[in-house]
């Protein structure tokens, strides 16, 4: 947290250096994640630097420096042995950094920051000119970090959360229900919906070709390809006879959110359900923000706003889409009412139901 506004320059300088230190620790987490160092420590630790380098096909001198950094940062423990210092990853850290099925899995957040940092020249240019940096330009690290970060939440929390809302659960449980997952990304939510509602046919749509290709492979692997399909199309082109549609953590990215909401309204039966899931930010800004609000503004600066700005016509929403902004989009798209569903299982998301 920044110092008090009347704090002396030294206190501000300390704060800036602390922030930079934390930023570098985030990039060090990314190194450890991508180079397999955390996974090796979790599986086979405690390890010397030599053993870590050998196990991961990396260079011993870098492994030694990274381990020393991680020890200084309190991320690994160090024990002196006759073979030299050995390093271990605490159990909780191992889960947060290496277990893709855990709700505590946080390594993807560091990967998303690294993906954005790699685009800094393009970001600076966009900030000067009003241009943008597309989701595609942010690349695979951003794409799969997004997917991996949300996956455990969809797999373990989505089905029970929806089942707790009787009117919605009834729509989704209809015989031969058709469900759309608009802006499905890698498709983990689409597959979770299909597992939760075995009578449903679920269609994921997205404009990102690698995400759709990945999602199709996952559907095959899961044995769900007979009733789950993935289509490379803009959500603004959605058409026809759905019982329900979801837009999960994506409306704020869309350059034309009203157009997409309007298409979704027309594609979903009037007795169906439209659900927008988006960041659980405060109703209005109240600086200084809490850690979640600060994280969301960080994503907005580096990822979501530049992506949305990379279009000639754009609402330029940003990650921090306040409930009032969503209500305005919904009204403009012809919905009569927006209600917030009583779903508390996702501390990061608010579930909005948009009524015809
Ligand atoms: C932050 S990701 C969220 C993906 C996924 N729903 C999730 O929760 O992990 C945003 C996604 O929106 C997609 N997207 C953005 N605008 C879109 C549009 N107009 N139609 C369909 N997909 C869109 C992007 O390609 C990207 O996959």
91 and 146 in a single domain? The answer is no
84 and 222 in a single domain? The answer is no
- In sequence order, the 6+-apart residues with CB closer than 8 A to the CB of 11 are 3
136 and 76 in a single domain? The answer is no
292 and 327 in a single domain? The answer is yes
Cα 161 to ligand 1 centre (Å):
22
**Please, which residues bridge with residue 230 across strands?**
204
Cα 182 to ligand 1 centre (Å):
7
Per-residue pLDDT at 281: 98
Under DSSP, is residue 62 helix (H, G, I), strand (E, B) or coil?
helix
Report yes or no on 146 lying in a domain.
yes
Report yes or no on 109 lying in a domain.
no
Cα 48 to ligand 1 centre (Å):
42
Under DSSP, is residue 33 helix (H, G, I), strand (E, B) or coil?
helix
- Which of 100, 136, 137, 185 has the most ligand 1 atoms within 8 A of CB, as the residue to mutate? 185
Index of the ligand 1 atom closest to the CA of residue 247 = 6
**Please, which residues bridge with residue 202 across strands?**
179, 228
Cα 206 to ligand 1 centre (Å):
6
In this structure, what token pair is assigned to residue 16?
């800036």
For residues 81 and 201, give the distance between their C-alpha atoms in angstroms, rounded to a whole number: 58
Q: Are 123 and 116 in contact (CB under 8 A)?
A: yes
Report yes or no on 3 lying in a domain.
no
Index of the ligand 1 atom closest to the CA of residue 307 = 15
CATH number where 16 lies: 1.10.10.10
One-character DSSP codes across 315-331: ----S---HHHHHHHHH
pLDDT tens digits for the chain (356 residues)?
899 999 999 999 999 999 999 999 999 999 999 999 999 999 999 999 999 999 999 999 999 999 999 999 999 999 999 989 999 999 999 999 999 999 999 999 999 999 999 999 999 999 999 999 999 999 999 999 999 999 999 999 999 999 999 999 999 999 999 999 999 999 999 999 999 999 999 999 999 999 999 999 999 999 999 999 999 999 999 998 999 999 999 999 999 999 999 999 999 999 999 999 999 999 999 899 999 999 999 999 999 999 999 999 999 999 999 999 999 999 999 999 999 999 999 999 999 999 99
Cα 3 to ligand 1 centre (Å):
37
- Domain end position, chosen among 62, 97, 132: 97
Ligand 1, atom 23, residue with closest C-alpha: 183
Residue reference for tokens 């309204």: 265
Q: Which residues line ligand 1 (CB under 6 A)?
A: 135, 146-147, 150, 182-185, 189, 205-208, 211, 234-236, 248-250, 253-254, 260
The side-by-side arrangement of strands in the sheet containing 201-206 is 228-232, 201-206, 178-182, 242-248, 268-279, 349-355, 337-340
91 and 130 in a single domain? The answer is no
- What values do phi and psi take at 334, rounded to 5? 95, 10
Cα 164 to ligand 1 centre (Å):
26
- What values do phi and psi take at 287, rounded to 5? -65, 150
Report yes or no on 223 lying in a domain.
yes
67 and 175 in a single domain? The answer is no
209 and 285 in a single domain? The answer is yes
Ligand 1, atom 13, residue with closest C-alpha: 183
Ligand 1, atom 1, residue with closest C-alpha: 250
CATH number where 280 lies: 3.40.50.150
Cα 350 to ligand 1 centre (Å):
17
Question: Residue 190 is part of which domain span?
Answer: 117-355
**Please, which residues bridge with residue 242 across strands?**
268
206 and 67 in a single domain? The answer is no
Residue reference for tokens 């597309």: 134
With the CA atoms of 193, 195, 197 and 199 taken in that order, what torsion angle do they form, in degrees rounded to the nearest 10? 120
186 and 310 in a single domain? The answer is yes
What is the separation of C-alpha 202 from the centre of its chain, rounded to a whole number of angstroms? 21
**Please, which residues bridge with residue 278 across strands?**
350
126 and 183 in a single domain? The answer is yes
**Please, which residues bridge with residue 206 across strands?**
232
Report yes or no on 87 lying in a domain.
yes
In this structure, what token pair is assigned to residue 171?
């729509």
Ligand 1, atom 16, residue with closest C-alpha: 254
Domain count, the chain: 2
Cα 300 to ligand 1 centre (Å):
15
121 and 79 in a single domain? The answer is no
For residues 253 and 235, give the distance between their C-alpha atoms in angstroms, rounded to a whole number: 12
123 and 81 in a single domain? The answer is no
In this structure, what token pair is assigned to residue 143?
């794409």
In this structure, what token pair is assigned to residue 219?
């559907």
Report yes or no on 320 lying in a domain.
yes
- Domain end position, chosen among 97, 132, 155: 97
In this structure, what token pair is assigned to residue 194?
């299909």
Per-residue pLDDT at 286: 87
For residues 20 and 257, give the distance between their C-alpha atoms in angstroms, rounded to a whole number: 35
How far apart, in Å, are the Cα atoms of 349 and each of 99, 276, 302? 22, 10, 20
Report yes or no on 103 lying in a domain.
no
């Amino acid at each position: 947290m920044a110092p008090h506004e009347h704090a002396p320059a030294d206190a501000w300088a300390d704060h800036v250096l602390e922030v930079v230190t934390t930023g570098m620790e985030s990039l060090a987490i990314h190194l450890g994640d991508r180079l397999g160092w955390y996974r090796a420590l979790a599986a086979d630790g405690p390890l010397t630097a030599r053993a870590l380098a050998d196990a991961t096909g990396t260079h011993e001198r870098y492994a030694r420096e990274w381990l020393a950094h991680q020890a200084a940062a309190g991320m690994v423990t160090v024990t002196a042995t006759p073979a030299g210092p050995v390093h271990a990853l605490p159990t909780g850290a191992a889960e947060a950094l290496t277990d893709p099925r855990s709700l505590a899995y946080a390594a993807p957040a560091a990967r998303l920051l690294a993906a954005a940092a790699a685009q800094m020249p393009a970001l600076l240019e966009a900030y000067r000119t009003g241009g943008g940096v597309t989701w595609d330009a942010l690349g695979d690290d951003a794409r799969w970090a997004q997917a991996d970060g949300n996956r455990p939440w969809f797999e373990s929390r989505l089905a029970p959360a929806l089942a707790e809302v009787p009117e919605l659960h009834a729509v989704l449980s209809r015989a031969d229900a058709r469900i759309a997952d608009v802006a499905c990304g890698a498709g983990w939510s689409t597959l979770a919906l299909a597992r939760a509602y075995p009578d449903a046919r679920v269609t994921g749509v997205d404009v990102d070709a690698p995400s759709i290709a990945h999602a199709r492979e996952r559907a095959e692997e899961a044995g769900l390809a007979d009733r789950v399909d993935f289509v490379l199309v803009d959500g603004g082109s959605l058409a026809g006879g759905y019982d329900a549609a979801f837009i999960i953590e994506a409306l704020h990215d869309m350059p034309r959110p009203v157009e997409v909401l309007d298409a979704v309204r027309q594609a979903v039966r009037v007795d169906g359900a439209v659900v927008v899931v988006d960041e659980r930010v405060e109703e209005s800004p109240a600086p200084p923000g809490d850690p979640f609000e600060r994280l969301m503004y960080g994503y907005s600066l580096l990822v979501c706003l530049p992506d949305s700005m990379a279009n000639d016509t754009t609402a330029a929403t940003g990650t921090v889409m306040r409930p009032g902004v969503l209500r305005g989009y919904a009204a403009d798209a012809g919905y009569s009412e927006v209600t917030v569903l009583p779903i508390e299982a996702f501390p990061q998301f608010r579930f909005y139901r948009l009524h015809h």
